[in-house]
Amino acid sequence: MKISGVAIVGRQNEPLLLRTSEAQPPCEPIEHIIYAALDVVDDHALLSAKKSTPDALKFYLGALYPLEDGKCYGYLVNTKIKFFIITQSQAHSDQDVQSIFQQLHSEYVRMACSPFFKQDAPITSAKYVRFVDSLLASGS
C-alpha cells in the first residue's frame, strides 16, 4: 500500500500533524483533503452517538473521502483524536489500513505518555515524526 499522506487532527478539529510523502504527494493539498474529510468524521461520530449501544472499540471509520488517485481513510479514537491516511490507489483491504492506524495510534499513545507531551498542541516529537515519515517512505 502506498501512503501519500498522514494526518492527525485534535479534539477541536485543529491540525496536529500533517505529513506528505515527498516522492508521491497527494494530488491535492493535504490540508484540503483532511479539512474536507472532517465533515465525514463528524457525520460518523453523530451516527455513532445515535446508536443505542455504540461500539467503543470501533475506531476505524473506513474510507472517508475519495480522491482522484486514492482515498482518505479515517480513525477516530475515544479521546477524539483523529488519524487520517491518504493512499495512492483505490483498492485496499480494510485490515491493512487498520493495521497502519493501530501503529499510528500506539505510537501516539506512547508519545502522549511523555511528561513533556502537550495536549492539543501541534506534534513536534521528532521520534513520532520519524515514525510517520518511515510509514510514508515504506508505504506500509
Partner 1 sequence: MAAVLKEQDDLLVPTLAVPTTPLVKVIGLHVGENEKHKVFWETLQKRVEQGETVVRYERCTPDTINFPPRKDKPQRQLGITEEDYIPPGIMKLNWPTKHALKIPAVLVVFIQLEWEAEDWEDKEQECAQLFESLRSARNNRSTRFVAILEQSKPQTSVPEETITRRAHTFRTACDLRHRSSLFTLDMPQGQIPTAVEKLDAIFFDLAQQHYSDEIKRVEAHMDIANQATEHMLFVRYLFKVGFFSELKGAHRDAISRYHRALEFLAKVGFTSARAREIKTVAGVLVARMCRCLFQTSAPLEAIAQFSAHVRANRLRLAPGEHPAVHAAWIAQQYATFASLFKDAVDGGLGAIMLQHPGLYFKFAAEFAVRRMTEAKKTQSHTPAPGPVAAETHTYIGQVVYTCEAASNAQQLQLIKWHEQQYPHASVVLQLLNAARTIFETYCVTKQPAVVNGQIVAREKKLTRMLTILDLQRAKFLVLQRNFADATTLARAAARAFRAGRWWSLLRDALLLHKQCAWALGATGAFCTTCIELCAPQIPLSAEDKTLAQSGIDDVVQGTHMDDSLSEDFPVAFGSAASDATTSSQDGGGGDRDQTDGGPQIDMASITPAVECKVLLYEPDPETDNRVRVCIAFRSSLPLPLRITNIAPALHIAVDGDGADDDGSTKPGTSDAPDLSISLSSTTALIPNSTKVVELWLATPPRLPSTAAVVCTHVRAAIVGTHPIALCWSTPDASMTTTTTTTTMPPPAQLTTTPWSALPSIPKTAFVPQRTGVRITHAHTPPAFVGERYRIAVTVANTKSSPTTDATFRVEAGGADGSPTTVDLLQVAVDGKTHTSSSDRLSAPLPDIQANASQTVMVDVLVNAVGHLAITTRLEYTFMGVECVAQHSLSLPIVTPLHTTFQLLDTQGESLDHEMSLPAGQDMCVGVQIETTQPERLVLVDAWLQLPWAAAVAKPLRLSACHEEIGAGERVSDLVRITLPPLVPGADPTTTALGTFHIKWRRATSTCDDGDGSSCVETTSTLPMVDIHPSTLDCRLHSPT
Q: Which residues contact partner 1 (rule: CB under 8 A)?
A: 12-15, 18, 27-28, 31-32, 35-36, 38-40, 42-43, 46, 50, 63-66, 68-69, 89-90
Nearest to 79 by CA among 52, 61, 62, 56: 56
Angle value at C-alpha 80, between 74 and 84, nearest 5 degrees: 20
Which residues lie below 8 Å from residue 101, measured CB to CB, with a gap of 6+? 59, 60, 73, 75, 83, 85
Q: Least distance in Å: CB of 106 to partner 1?
A: 26
Nearer to partner 1, 109 or 118 (CB): 118
Nearer to partner 1, 91 or 113 (CB): 91
Sign of CA dihedral 17, 18, 20, 22: negative
Q: Least distance in Å: CB of 140 to partner 1?
A: 20
Sign of CA dihedral 117, 2, 96, 56: positive
Q: Judge whether 87 and 66 are in contact, CB under 8 Å.
A: no
Q: Least distance in Å: CB of 27 to partner 1?
A: 6
Nearer to partner 1, 36 or 109 (CB): 36
Q: Least distance in Å: CB of 49 to partner 1?
A: 10
Nearer to partner 1, 64 or 104 (CB): 64
